[in-house]
Amino acid sequence: MTALAPGSQTSGPVLSRRALLTGAAGAGAVAALGPWRRAGAQPRFSANPFTLGVASGHPLPDGVVLWTRLAPDPLHGGGMSPDPVVLDWDVAADERFQRTVQTGRARAVAAEAHSVHVEVRGLEPDRWYWYRFRAGNEVSATGRTRTAPAPGASPARLRFAFASCQHYEQGYFTAYRHMVADDLDLVVHLGDYIYESSWGRDPVRRHDAPEPITLEDYRARLALYKSDPDLQAAHAACPWLVTWDDHEVDNDYADDRSEELDPREWFLARRAAAYQAYYEHMPLRRGAVPLGPHARIFGRVGYGDLAEFHVLDDRQYRSHQVCPRPGRGGSNVVEDCAARLDPRLTLLGDAQERWLMAGLDRSRARWNVLAQQTLMAQLDRKVGPGQSFWTDGWDGYPAARRRLLDFLAQRKPANPLVIGGDVHSFWVADLKPDFDDPRSAAVATEFVGTSITSQLARTQAEQDAIVAENPHIKYGNLTRRGYVRMELDRGRARAELRGLDSVTERAAGVRTVAVFVVEDGRPGAQRA
Ligand SMILES: [Fe+2]
């Protein structure tokens, strides 16, 4: 992470120290050196360039990342000339900017689609701030953000929501309208922020483009999704933590292998384009700048001694899925697949797995939130005798899951809460080292949110039959799209599963379909 010194007024573009030292900078980074040396032009825009809104992310006790992108014509390449543009940014203690506490300048360059990621430091902990950007005669929307509590602080509570799986064609992003009304401290996005392909029943709107392959394609897809007003409002309402799943690149990809078994170098070039566009559109730290097909987005954010978020990336470093369909990569549902039990399989990769365990060991937080992509609990999908498993989730990597759950059992970090998405349905589960042994004790609690819009082809009756096969699963509901709202305090975690009445009407209502609590020191969810 190339953090700015507190009080620094300028956010420089693009070249990480590592890229400079190793000479590994890509063509985009080299192109950005020019504008870095030149004075920025005073821009004139034919239309307001802040069409994609503003966002903030990765809150620290003294700072936060502020994001925007200049794009007067967002769906047609952005509409910017290739020249760099200097923006001004303001951070204020009030919504009307009467008490501005910091201002600065940032350079937006074509190599990053004229996005900016300003790492503001020197703010006070645990308080709200407002921010905006200015360029030429244009001013962005105002965003609101919040710093994290100081490391030694003992905040009384934290309210956040988590979201995943927002297929643009399959519904409006109404869930975010309700999150804004929830007045949250934080939103956590667990992946499938975009979808690369068109599918599903009864679309409410269209991608109007084929699958993205190039950087320009992915930029257009991200811009299309970010044009949704409810999504923009949620980004402007509070800071976000983000990680990705497969559809930010391609369905079911695993590290360097695509579902279609594309040539490796071709697929890695596609992955590099997808990662770059994702970075350009998210409030990520500059430490997450992609270097070709590599980008480190896993990371950790603390909220005093109350909570620590361990944000994971289960796509980039994973082993290839075992026992695929003939001639294919990607997932499968398998009954007899000895390779699935190979202890060498990894979902997080060795380095991230060690990083996670070391961080859990060090954590002094009351709640340790593992923000990751998919259902961690074992899910036997075969009703009746025998078992079948879906290989793209943790069930495809049972030895890796066992390593993590054994670690939790032995090292006992405080109150592990696993949150996930991906499977387009609500799940609540006890996580235990041996799911097939009724005497194996729960060591963590899992909540999986349903999708913001993405569909699932299964009936609730089928879901109920599957839940009955898996006694560690307390709840499974696929009937509604929505999100999960969580409140952590010093005695318990409370999860409200929020289900939308519809995703085909922007103004549809939401209802709480179930509430579960986890008591401090007692892994496992209880119905409230
Ligand atoms: Fe999804």
Q: Encode pLDDT of 168-223 as tens digits.
A: 999 999 999 999 999 999 999 999 999 999 999 999 999 999 999 999 999 999 99
Strand partners, 77: none
Residue 290: which of 302, 278, 300, 301 has the closest Cα? 278
Q: What pLDDT does residue 41 have?
A: 56
Structure tokens at 87: 């923006």
225: helix, strand or coil:
helix
CA 322 – ligand 1 centroid, Å: 20
CA 233 – ligand 1 centroid, Å: 22
Q: What pLDDT does residue 40 have?
A: 54
Q: Is the dihedral of CA 256, 260, 264, 266 positive or negative?
A: negative
Q: What is the C-alpha separation between 80 and 68, in angstroms, rounded? A: 14
Report whether 133 contacts 55 (CB < 8 A).
no
For helices 215-226 and 229-237, give the axis angle rounded to 10 degrees.
Answer: 80
CA 230 – ligand 1 centroid, Å: 19
What percentage of the chain reaches a pLDDT higher than 70?
A: 92
CA 40 – ligand 1 centroid, Å: 40
Give 47: exposed, middle or buried? Use CB within 10 Å, 0-12, 13-18, 19+. Answer: exposed
CA 423 – ligand 1 centroid, Å: 6
When the pLDDT of each residue in the chain is averaged and rounded to a whole number, the result is 93
CA 191 – ligand 1 centroid, Å: 7
| Helix runs in 376-520, H state only | 398-411, 460-469
CA 4 – ligand 1 centroid, Å: 35
Protein residues near ligand 1, an ion, with CB under 5 A: 165, 192, 454
What is the amino acid identity at position 345?
L
Structure tokens at 391: 């290989």
CA 318 – ligand 1 centroid, Å: 18
Report whether 242 contacts 193 (CB < 8 A).
yes
CA 253 – ligand 1 centroid, Å: 13
Maximum CA extent, the chain = 71
Q: What pLDDT does residue 5 have?
A: 32
Q: What is the C-alpha separation between 166 and 482, in angstroms, rounded? A: 10
CA 166 – ligand 1 centroid, Å: 7
DSSP 40: P
Residue 82: which of 49, 111, 105 has the closest Cα? 111
What is the amino acid identity at position 272?
A
Residue 59: which of 191, 150, 178 has the closest Cα? 150
Structure tokens at 143: 């965003």
CA 421 – ligand 1 centroid, Å: 7
Give the other-Cβ count within 10 Å of 410's Cβ. 9
Q: Encode pLDDT of 410-445 as tens digits.
A: 999 999 999 999 999 999 999 999 999 999 999 999
Alpha carbon distances (Å) from 351 to 16, 360, 364, 413, 494 = 21, 14, 22, 19, 32
User: Per-residue b/e over 452-488, b at no fewer than 16 CB within 10 Å?
Assistant: bbbbbeeeeeebeebbeebebbbbbbbebbbbbbbbb
Report whether 62 contacts 125 (CB < 8 A).
yes
Q: What pLDDT does residue 9 have?
A: 35
Q: What angle do CA 377, 381, 383 make, to 5 degrees?
A: 130
Q: Encode pLDDT of 80-139 as tens digits.
A: 999 999 999 999 999 999 999 999 999 999 999 999 999 999 999 999 999 999 999 999
Measure the N-to-C terminal CA separation of the chain; round to a whole number of Å.
Answer: 41
CA 450 – ligand 1 centroid, Å: 9
Q: Encode pLDDT of 41-64 as tens digits.
A: 567 888 999 999 999 999 999 999
CA 218 – ligand 1 centroid, Å: 17
Residue 129: which of 65, 182, 50 has the closest Cα? 65
Q: What pLDDT does residue 443 have?
A: 98
Q: Encode pLDDT of 361-396 as tens digits.
A: 999 999 999 999 999 999 999 999 999 999 999 999
Q: Scanning the structure block, which residue is given the tokens 């695929």?
A: 324
Q: What pLDDT does residue 511 have?
A: 98
184: helix, strand or coil:
coil
22 has pLDDT over 50? no
Q: Scanning the structure block, which residue is given the tokens 């026992």?
A: 323
CA 26 – ligand 1 centroid, Å: 31
18 has pLDDT over 70? no
Q: What angle do CA 327, 329, 330 make, to 5 degrees?
A: 140
3-state DSSP of 100-156? EEEEEEEEECHHHCCEEEEEECCCCCCCEEEEEEEECCEECCCEEEECCCCCCCCCC
Higher pLDDT, 276 or 15: 276
What is the amino acid identity at position 149?
P
